[in-house]
Structure 1
Amino acid sequence: MENQTLGEGVLLLEGLKVSSQSTLPAFIALLLIYIFALVSNISLVVLILTSRTLHQPMYLLFCNMSINDIFGATIVTPHILRDIFRPPSERFIHYIDCAIQAFCVHLYANVTHTVLMIMAFDRYVAICKPLQYATIMTGRTVAALSAAAWTVAFTAVAILVGLSIRLSRCRRVIPNPFCDNASLFGLSCESVLVNHVYGLGLTAVLLGSSFVSVTITYLKIGVVCVRSKNKALNSKALQTCGTHLAVYVFLLVSALVIITLHRFPQMSDYRKVASVLCEVTLPAFNAVIYGLQIKEIKQRIIALLHNRKIVNHRDNSLDSPLRRRSSIDNQTYFPAVKYDMENSTFGGEILILERLKLTSQSFIPAFVLLLLVYIFIMVSNIGLVVLIFRSRSLQQPMYLLFCNMSINDFFGATIIIPHVLRDLLLSDSERLIRYTDCAVQAFCVHLHASVSHTVLMIMTFDRYVAICSPLRYATIMTSRTVAALSAVAWTVALLMVAILVGLSVRLSRCRSVVSNLFCDNASLFKLSCESVLINNIYGLGYTVVLLGSSIGSVTLTYLKIAVVCLSSRNKSLNSKALQTCATHLAVYVFLLVSGFIIVTLHRFPQLADHRKVASVLGHVVLPVLNAVIYGLQIKEVRQRIKALFHNNKVALMDV
């Protein structure tokens, strides 16, 4: 293994020692923690950036921590999840990928310290110099501190890893579940004295500066609190500083545990477990500590989970939540509410969205189901794209074209589902959206729908060439052709949708209620009291051209493919045609049926609730269906998924 078994640039990772009985539980536990870390940290960043009351230096600086936690968890956890099902002989990584991972791992660790240092400075100014806080902690200061935290860490780690990759290599085994700097210079037989000196200096400077700055800062804060008899000040200091200190202590303890275990080679298995747990649990720990202990964020999370309204000065005149819900559902508003919405309370740029009619017993199951489906869409579609791009045997025109579908499905689901999930937990008066955001969402919704058709058309062309002109397939479907077809599919859809939405945003508005769960083109031009004849004409023409061209091309193509299959006695050809074309047709038929159902329901206002459900399901089910059909019905992808979960060896081009 150390000499000739592996390719020149391929290394072998030592994984965690997990028994066959505990592999699946370990995988599920790691996956759930990773999903929690992603969802919680992303949610915190979105919550802070979208809530004006949280646009304070403390929370904006904390966004650095959440972004870094997402980055840190994503560097290591997916890699370990992949390797946990592989036998030790198949845990390969390219040297370049190893160096990048080592850089990212140390960047994550360094940024954690530098961000905690600038957060400590913010708390010092807030508590020790409250009157100067607004003048010191300006937006420019926050940006400068954030930039400094990342730049200092980036520069220090670049030198650290750079000193390691300059060395020649005489070993191939990484004694760790993932790559770090020690793993890199451990591959060399040269003198690593410079690496040790710089690494020790970096560790001393980083830990020393963070420990000293945090200690001095909190000693000064402690002195101020002891001298002050202001209970409110002391309570606030304890609340905000306690969370910060808890995270910092956890970070220090975990780092010291790993450093200590490095000194005992006989405890390498414990060190591996500790390093993995540190990379996985710290991001989740930060999200819990800051999300549940900081008052303003905790209030908003409680409001979301219990559907309680946070004080909003614009909504003081609204009635009880029950009456608000019924009034929206029945399209009737109390005079005060109607005046507020249509005139001045929401302003010309603020619109209100309608909601799904859900009972109090069913909205939590609906929320959980939608969230799980969205997570599945993200994981499955991103997983398929990564699998196709990382596997040379799958880098064929059919699969590369399918990547457009997966990317579009991820895009389409992300436009709608997070928005619907948020609105499920809000009361009617809080389900607001800016007109600009509404127009952008409408553009994205129609772009997703249009690209679904154009991508299926180019995938149809690929199947036609593969089956009807197999000898010319390699010369026709080159990489340049695939790139050109993909670019055409997105560009044509982009131009058509830009004109469609552009015709709607030019209109003046006399209404403020969007008669849908999310914004689309029909919702936009219905806000106007002007003539929408041009919109209807172009919209009808756009639909006819898009559906007509897709139906016509798909029908003609598959008729020709059917003729070729019927005239051919080659069972292998017919079997392959049935396998690849059936998946394509199934997706296309579902796309057409769902589209026609929504268009039909638009013609019956009394079925508005059914239309809302159908429109959401269209954006939820299709991405799931695409991932399942293409992921499980295409032979090569199915084999690789089975290899991951059943520990079967798949041939590697690099071995």
Structure 2
Amino acid sequence: MDNVSNVSSVLTLQGFDVPQERAFLAFLLATLGYMVIVFCNLLLLITIILDKNLHHPMYILLINMPINDLIGSSALFPQIMREFLSNSESIEFPACVTQAFFVHIYASGVTFILAAMAYDRYIAICRPLQYATIMTNAHLMTIIALIWGSSLILIGVLFILLLRLPRCRNNVTHTYCDNPSLLRLMCADTTINNIYGILTVIVTQPMTVALILYTYLQILMACFRSKSTDTRSKAMQTCATHLVVFLLFECLGLFTIISYRLKYLSPGLTKFIGVSALIFPPTLNPIIYGINTKEIRKRAIMRLKKNVFPM
């Protein structure tokens, strides 16, 4: 009880151990990376929102991707930039909990958004004549509400269970705050938290992965049955784009989990893998969707020419 009552409100993260003479360069690189992520995702977001020609179910669902990527990157980068600039690995407990909450919202949001986009493409390609009657505005809003509502409820309960526990430690064994690292700071029985966390993963991951794999399998079968070369090409391109994003996030998440259990990996590599899932997908998603989707690419270039580089 003395440990609980005397515990500090300031936590210590497992920093990147950047030498002081290179800290400012690391800060500049982190700032540049964050600016690239914000610019690319905002460009994709603004292009879809402001261009009425893109107000179709596929693009409206896609809006959720840059919003989610901005949440994930904004949960990580400001803390890393502050660490490099101030050469301090400390973080206030409320800030740590807030960071962890949004990191988990981002992680759950990715799988739900990709599952919703896979469902949309399945209806469009496998049931094209019914697409307009199925993907109505009301149905679309229901899907979006389910994406964010499910994430907020699942992650909200996770952190309600966390915050009920007394804390008696200050050293976070991670480069950023998340639920597992925060649980290690608690000095009470965490069985309920562990069971809930495992059940959440067991329920959501197989469900979303199964939906994505089933829909793309159906799409591929429809493509091979189609006599139209153009239809087959467009469908294959859409599938490839979504699958690249899905596999990228799943592989990075898996590598992150495995890396912290492989003791022979260097600490630097372990830390880099740990933040990779919050860096690479938010950077690559707007590029993959923006460049690979002809309509978005054309509209985004037009908007840049008009507002950023006027002739």
TM-score higher than 0.5 here?
yes
Pairing 1:447-486 to 2, within 5 Å after superposition: 447-486=105-144
CA distance in 1, matches of 2:246, 2:72: 16
State the shift of 1:494 in Å.
1.0
Residue 414 of structure 1 aligns with an amino acid whose one-letter code is S
Q: Is 1:597 equivalent to 2:250 in the alignment? A: no
Query: Hey, what does 2:66 align to over in structure 1?
Result: 406
For 2:86, which of 416, 426, 447 is the aligned residue? 426
SS at match of 2:277: helix
Give the match's secondary structure for 1:500.
Answer: helix
Deviation of 1:365 (Å):
3.1
Check whether the contact 1:453–1:550 (CA below 8 A) recurs between aligned residues: yes
Residue 638 (structure 1) aligned with residue 297 (structure 2): yes
Look up the match of 1:375.
35
Change (3 A) 1:646 1:386: closer
Please tell me the root mean square deviation across aligned C-alpha atoms, in Å.
2.0
> Given the alignment of the two structures, is residue 542 of structure 1 paired with residue 200 of structure 2, yes or no?
yes
Candidates 245, 251, 256, aligned match of 1:587: 245
Q: 1:557 aligns with which of 215, 220, 242?
A: 215
Q: Partner residue of 1:389?
A: 49
Structure 1 unaligned residues grouped into runs of 5+: 1-340, 648-655
Q: Which residue is 1:124 aligned to? A: none
1:328 is matched with none
Partners of 2:44 and 2:305 lie apart in 1 by 18
Equivalence map 1:241-640=2 (5 Å): 347-427=7-87, 430-604=88-262, 607=265, 608-640=267-299
Sequence identity of aligned pairs in percent?
Answer: 35
Contact 1:416 1:518 in 2 (8 A): yes
User: What's the secondary structure of 1:425's corresponding residue?
Assistant: helix
Deviations 1:527-547 (A, max 9, x none): 023232222222222122222
Deviations 1:146-189 (A, max 9, x none): xxxxxxxxxxxxxxxxxxxxxxxxxxxxxxxxxxxxxxxxxxxx
Per the alignment, do residues 611 and 534 of structure 1 end up closer, same or farther by CA in structure 2, a change over 3 Å counting?
farther
Deviation at 1:646, TM superposition (A): 6.7
Secondary structure of the structure 2 residue equivalent to 1:433: strand
Q: Give deviations 1:100-120, integer Å, cap 9, x for gaps.
A: xxxxxxxxxxxxxxxxxxxxx
Contact 2:12 2:172 in 1 (8 A): yes
Determine if contact 2:47/2:303 at 8 Å carries over to the other structure: no
Aligned residues: 303
Whether the 8 Å contact between 1:505 and 1:525 is mirrored in structure 2 is no
- Matched to 2:270, the amino acid is R
| Residue 309 of structure 2: aligned partner | none
Q: CA deviation at 1:343?
A: 8.5
Question: 1:273-297, CA deviations, whole angstroms, 9 ceiling, x for partnerless residues?
Answer: xxxxxxxxxxxxxxxxxxxxxxxxx
Unaligned segments of structure 2, at least 5 residues: 307-311
C-alpha contact (below 8 Å) 1:409/1:623 kept by paired residues: yes
Any idea what SS the aligned residue of 2:18 has? coil
| Aligned mates of 1:401, 1:494 — CA distance in 2 | 18
Cα distance, 1:367–1:617 mapped onto 2, change above 3 Å: farther
CA distance in 1, matches of 2:169, 2:247: 36
Q: Specify whether residues 606 and 519 from structure 1 end up closer, same or farther in structure 2 by C-alpha distance, changes over 3 A only.
A: farther
Q: TM-score, normalised by structure 1?
A: 0.44
Q: Which has the larger radius of gyration?
A: 1
**Structure 2 CA distance for aligned equivalents of residues 545 and 492 of structure 1:** 12
Paired residues of 2:27 and 2:81 also in contact (CA < 8 A): yes
